[in-house]
Structure formats: C-alpha cells, structure tokens
Amino acid sequence: MAKQDLVIGIDVGGQSTKLGVVDARGNILYQSVISSLQRELEEYINDITAAINDLVAQCKEDGNVKGIGIGAPNGNYYKGTIEFAPNLKWAYDSNGNPMVIQFAKLISDRVNIPVVLTNDANAAAVGEMTYGIAKGMKNFIMITLGTGVGSGIVINGNIVYGHDAFAGELGHTTIIRDGRPCGCGLKGCLETYTSATGVARTAKEFLQRDNTPSLLRNLDIEKISSKDIYDAAKQGDKLALEIFEYTADIMGKAFANFVAFSAPEAIVLFGGLTKAKEFLTENIEKSMNENMLKMWKGKVKLLYSTLKDSDAAILGASALGWEV
C-alpha cells in the first residue's frame, strides 16, 4: 500500500519553536519543541534542522514528508525570508542590527524538503479558519498575544498579504502617541501594552506609581510575568485587576480601529495571554463598542481560539506545506 503524504508545520516564537507532523485530515501525529533563545543564527538553524530530521525519522512508517510550512515573526510569504524580527535574538548581526534571513532556503538546503514560510499570525489565522472557531468565516482578524502581538487579516476568505507580504502588522500600530519604546524602534506600539511582556511593563509602572497594597510587591519587580499578574488577579488582587482592566481598555480601542478598515465578523484572540480572558473579555468589549462607529456596535464578535496552545499555528503553517 502506498504511504500517505505528510507535512511538517513549524511555529517560530520568541521563546520557543514548536514543530508538528500533520496528515491530510489535519491530525498532528508527532510534535516537538525547541528553544528559540539562541543568540547565534547558526546555532538555531542547527537545532531546528535536527528537530526536523528527528520528526522525519519518527514518521517514516506513517508516510513521507512532502513539504514544510513555517510561521515566523516578520515572515515574508513571497520571498521566504524573516526580515528585521525584533523578538528573535538570533535574527541580529554582530553589530546588533536586525537582519534579513533567507530562512526557507536555509532550512530547505539542510533537510532537502521544500519549504514555504509566512508570518506566524497569518499561519495561526489559516489554522483557525481551517480547523478552529473561525471555520466557515470569510472575514475576521486573528490577533496573537504572546511575546509580541501579531495579526492575520482574512478578507473574503483570503489572507491579506499586501504588495510586499507584510500587511497586517497590527501589533506595531501606534496606540499611544510617544508612548513606550518598542523593540521595532517605534514608540507607543500596541505590542508594548498588550503582549505578555507589555502587561509585565504595565505592572512595573503601576507598582512604581504609588503604594497600593498588592501580592505583586512580594516579587522581584524586574522578573514579574503576565502569569504572576494572572495568579494575583485570581486571588482578587486589586492592582492586578487594574492592570488587566487597563490592558483590556487599550485592546478595545485598538480593535475598534481595526474594525473600521475591514469590517470583520469577528476578532479572534490566540496566545498565552488569552488564559486571562476572564479578566479581559468584558472590558475589551466595553472599550471596543465605546470607540466604534454606530453601524458596527454590538455586531463584531470577540472570540477565543478553540485550538489548544500551539495547534493553530502548527496547523496553519502545515497548510502551507501542501502548497509545494
């Protein structure tokens, strides 16, 4: 009997890289995770190609890997490059300048399998549209809330790439003029307020603002994470709840702006920060509707990914693997 075709989907994140072997029905047969914190590109390429080769060996009895799809920050679908990605340590040269990396070619040359690459949030949007809560939707915006803030815009059933493949960098729209410095070089980007690291920055600012009692004061202020804030909020901590209310208000204002240009049926949230949805949803919806034109008030749904953790990005990236 002929072996089935398989693809590998890869989600490159700021902290870790998740890989999965996927069959034609969208089942993830094998998975692995490696760190993304290497400081040298060569070291990272060695690690990821070793992980790919391990997966290829694992699935040998199940089928043949015909292609690899990769979702990566600042991934260029047209060129197969990762360009000026601020949250990837290995994407900088020896002078500290972000690089343009021929990523798809580097991987393909090492493993001898065709590679297609896109932006990580676009990959997550494809995964959600194919297998998740956005199945059947033709118009929605995917927002990924992790180390950074990414987005994938779907209009009339198609990902919007723009003329250079970089359309939809909504995490780097200015939400507060002359606000917090961002790793991209701009100030006041949405990412600096509503990513997991942005929420931690808010906590630091609020703790230094006054002496409001808080469980967060028992922690090293330089090491506070969004999970610490979530844990405190679960215990009713007033300052932690205020941090999430502030974050949700900013998200709502940004989402109202996004609705104005593409009139989506829904905004779908995905990523680590969505674990705090019980402290975000009501205030996001309130802020969004307060800042939205009347014709859209109450019409745009706020939804959360139904695909567990990395599955949306792996499945979305894997869909690219079938294109080769």
So what's the pLDDT on residue 311? 82
Query: What's residue 308's pLDDT?
Result: 75
Q: Which two structure tokens, joined as six digits, stand for 33?
A: 């995770």
- Identify any residues that bridge with 194 across adjacent strands, giving them in sequence order: none
185 with 291, same domain? yes
What pLDDT shows up at residue 127? 86
Q: Same domain, yes or no, for 147 and 290?
A: yes
Domain CATH for 209: 3.30.420.40
Answer yes or no: do 113 and 147 share one domain.
no
Whole-prediction pTM: 0.86
Q: DSSP character for 139?
A: S
Contact 257, 173 (CB under 8 A): yes
Please give the pLDDT value at position 323.
84
pLDDT at 309: 65
pLDDT of the residue at 146: 87
Point out the residues of the chain with pLDDT beneath 50. none
* 23 within a domain of the structure (yes/no): yes
pLDDT at residue number 120: 84
What is the amino acid identity at position 73? P
156 and 232 both lie in a single domain: yes
| Residue in 77, 80, 78, 56 with CA at minimum distance from that of residue 66 | 56
Q: Are residues 299 and 314 in the same domain?
A: no
pLDDT digits (tens, 9 = 90+) for 262-276: 999 999 999 889 999
User: So what's the pLDDT on residue 290?
Assistant: 97
In the chain the first and final C-alpha atoms are separated, in Å, by 23
- Per DSSP, what are the bridge partners of residue 28? 22
Cβ atoms 19, 321 nearer than 8 A: no
The C-alpha atoms of residue 61 and residue 302 are separated, in whole angstroms, by 42
User: Do 298 and 151 fall within a single domain?
Assistant: yes
Domain with 317 in it: 4-126+310-321
Identify whether 131 is part of a domain: no
149 and 114 inside one domain: no
Domain-located, residue 116: yes
Report the domain count for the chain: 2
Q: Are residues 315 and 290 in the same domain?
A: no
193 and 79: one domain?
Answer: no
Q: Are residues 152 and 288 in the same domain?
A: yes
Residues 95 and 146 in one domain: no
Q: What is the pLDDT of residue 147?
A: 83
Q: Report pLDDT for 184.
A: 86
Is 71 part of a structural domain of the chain?
yes
